[in-house]
Amino acid sequence: MPRAVDRAKAATIGEAASQAQYEVLRAGREKVQQSAPRWRRVTDGNPCGFCAMVCSRGPAYRSADAAGQGRRYHAHCGCTVEPFFGDPSTWVPSPDEARFIEAYNASWKPGIDKWDLSDDIGAWLSDPANAVAQEAKASGLDLTGINAAKTTQEIGAELQKVIGTRGNVSGFDGAALDLERTRSAAEQTARMFDRYPEVNADVQVVKLGKPYAQAVGSRDGYDGSMGNLRLQISSAKLGKRSKVDEMFRHDAESGHFHAHGDTDPMSYIVSHEFGHLVDFAGRGQIAGTAPTPMALRVSAIKKQLLSDEGIVNINGREQFEWVKKNVSGYGQSNLDEQVAEAFADVIVNGDRAKPFSRLIHDEYVARLKERRG
Amino acid sequence: MARTPEGKRLTDAHKRAQIRLGALAAALTVENAKRLDVDDLDGTREAWLTTQAAIVEALRRRSEILAEDYLRAFWKAEGIKPSELAELDLKPAREVMAWVVPVIKTRKAKYAAGG
């Protein structure tokens, strides 16, 4: 059992690290804030009607406080404020903001008060008829061979051609595999290889039992060589009788995954598992030791975002809820799953990915580039 | 905030760079804690605090420089007339980190008493 003084030091240094982080960021933040004349509210991608209404006004606020800095207007509100420089009349709304303005214009009526108006804006935004379908970012990769393949064996052979010597493809020959589902998994796998050229891995369709798929890394760490990492996809989930679409839809609706009704399950699953592979690759030959430098950095980024929302206890219930909102339900499992979910979010949801996902993803990509030199 | 793709790119890059700096501050603080001997808090406090304050001050300056570079580049990319950069008046890092050792001592007493 640790001594009282060791426990006291560990607990206090954790808080000191958070404060050091805050104090450092404060310098840059205040420099920007004190040099900016106008403010606007920016949403977390899933705003309530009120935040959407405030956001739709653009840089109309004279202070960060007036734009609602630090205030949460809805459950799990992750909306923030940003400074705006220059003439406010030159503000050009982003596609999301244009949608909030459209919602505002559709909902405003003479004499309506701001609370009824924000309710109506929220209703307009959540109406599927007004929803903007999110398309996964298209890759410039040539997938013609996989698209044209007429059997699962041909799909496997075409995938092998695309990834070349970066991994061995196997298991794409089961008679029970569903052709289109297998094609979808292969296409997304090819895109991931294209997107992360630092990662080499074998791709295997195998019997896995419960998981949709899994990533396997060597205990000795990643040395960049072929066969060191494996992406394994469940043959049962790719099967003709698989209920993967229904299962995935249920998981997406419940918030277990940060996906939408029209998200292709295999794209999300492969992206998630590839996130684990990038995680392995980013760690280098120190897998199995904890905490790794990357884990420390991810943890620190998370602490910073938590502290921005006033959450101090990074192991408390609030943190747990924060992960569900800012990552996904599955991300609540552990930090490794948060990283993998962040990858799936960025790849599948593109510009609509959550801020945490974007930061984690970019941090890993930077780390991979560093390793490549 | 940005009207131009370059302005947006600069804003995103600045945010990421700042967050990385914050993460570095946290990691260095954990590393620097090795200087603090729990069996000799009074004797090791000064060396720890001096280094800790230097870490925070140095990274604060880097954070400020990042922000200044960002603002200048952003104004240029967006075609905005540059404003005067604000001068910051932050509390010295030594003062803001001074609570750490007293809190360890308080907690030590509390935990030793079964708290």
ipTM, 2 dp? 0.94
Q: What is the pLDDT of residues A221-253, one digit of tens each?
A: 666 665 678 899 988 888 888 888 888 888 888
> To 5 degrees, how large is the angle CA A115–CA A119–CA A123?
170
SS3 at position B110:
helix
pLDDT band at residue A372 using 50, 70 and 90 as cut-offs: low
pLDDT score for A157: 93
| Shortest alpha-carbon distance between residue B34 and chain A (Å) | 10
Q: Which of A85-99, A108-122, A194-208, A279-293 has the lowest mean pLDDT?
A: A279-293
Residues A5, B38: C-beta atoms closer than 8 Å = yes
| Whether the predicted pLDDT of A131 surpasses 60 | no
Asked whether the beta carbons of A295 and A287 are under 8 A apart, the reply is: no
Partnered with residue A82 across adjacent β-strands are A40
- Using CA atoms, how far residue A328 sits from A33, A180, A274, A358, in Å, is 31, 27, 17, 14
For A63, the enclosing helix (H) or strand (E) is: none
Number of residue pairs across A and B with CB atoms under 8 Å? 173
Q: What is the pLDDT of residues B8-47, one digit of tens each?
A: 889 889 988 998 999 999 999 999 999 999 999 999 999 9
Amino acid at A241: R
Chain B residue with the nearest C-alpha to that of A291: B27
Nearest Cα to Cα of residue B104 among B32, B25, B36? B36
| Whether the predicted pLDDT of A114 surpasses 50 | yes
Residues B64, A296: C-beta atoms closer than 8 Å = no
Query: Rounded distance, CA B24 to CA A20, Å?
Result: 9
Q: What is the mean pLDDT of residues A202-216?
A: 86
Which residues of chain B make contact with A16, given a CB cutoff of 8 A?
Answer: 29, 33, 52, 97, 100
Residues A300, B39: C-beta atoms closer than 8 Å = no
Asked whether the beta carbons of B39 and B105 are under 8 A apart, the reply is: no
pLDDT score for B94: 95
Partnered with residue A206 across adjacent β-strands are A234
By the 10 Å C-beta count (0-12 exposed, 13-18 middle, 19+ buried), B6 is classed as middle
> To 5 degrees, how large is the angle CA A337–CA A340–CA A342?
105
CA dihedral B63, B66, B71, B73 (to 10 degrees): 180
Which residues of chain A make contact with B16, given a CB cutoff of 8 A?
Answer: 359, 362-363
Q: Which of A69-78, A112-121, A134-143, A150-159 has the lowest mean pLDDT?
A: A134-143
Which of B60, B66, B81 is opposite residue A23, by nearest beta carbon?
A: B60
| Whether the predicted pLDDT of A305 surpasses 90 | no
SS3 at position A215:
strand
For A217, the enclosing helix (H) or strand (E) is: strand A213-217
Q: Is beta strand A169-170 parallel, antiparallel or unpaired with respect to A202-206?
A: parallel
Which of A32, A40, A84 is opposite residue B67, by nearest beta carbon?
A: A32
pLDDT score for A291: 53
Which of A6, A27, A85 is opposite residue B74, by nearest beta carbon?
A: A85
| Shortest alpha-carbon distance between residue B41 and chain A (Å) | 10
pLDDT score for B95: 94
Partnered with residue A202 across adjacent β-strands are A230
Query: Rounded distance, CA A245 to CA A243, Å?
Result: 6
pLDDT band at residue A285 using 50, 70 and 90 as cut-offs: very low
Best of B34, B42, B60, B90 to disrupt the A interface (most A CBs within 10 Å) is: B60
pLDDT score for B51: 96
Q: Which pair of structure tokens corresponds to residue A41?
A: 């509210």
By the 10 Å C-beta count (0-12 exposed, 13-18 middle, 19+ buried), A329 is classed as middle
Q: Answer with the residue of higher pLDDT: A227 or A321.
A: A321
Helix, strand, coil share (%) of chain B residues, nearest 5: 75, 0, 25
Q: Answer with the residue of higher pLDDT: A118 or A128.
A: A118
| Shortest alpha-carbon distance between residue B52 and chain A (Å) | 9
Whether the pTM exceeds 0.90: the reply is: no
Query: Rounded distance, CA B57 to CA B37, Å?
Result: 23
| Whether the predicted pLDDT of A189 surpasses 50 | yes
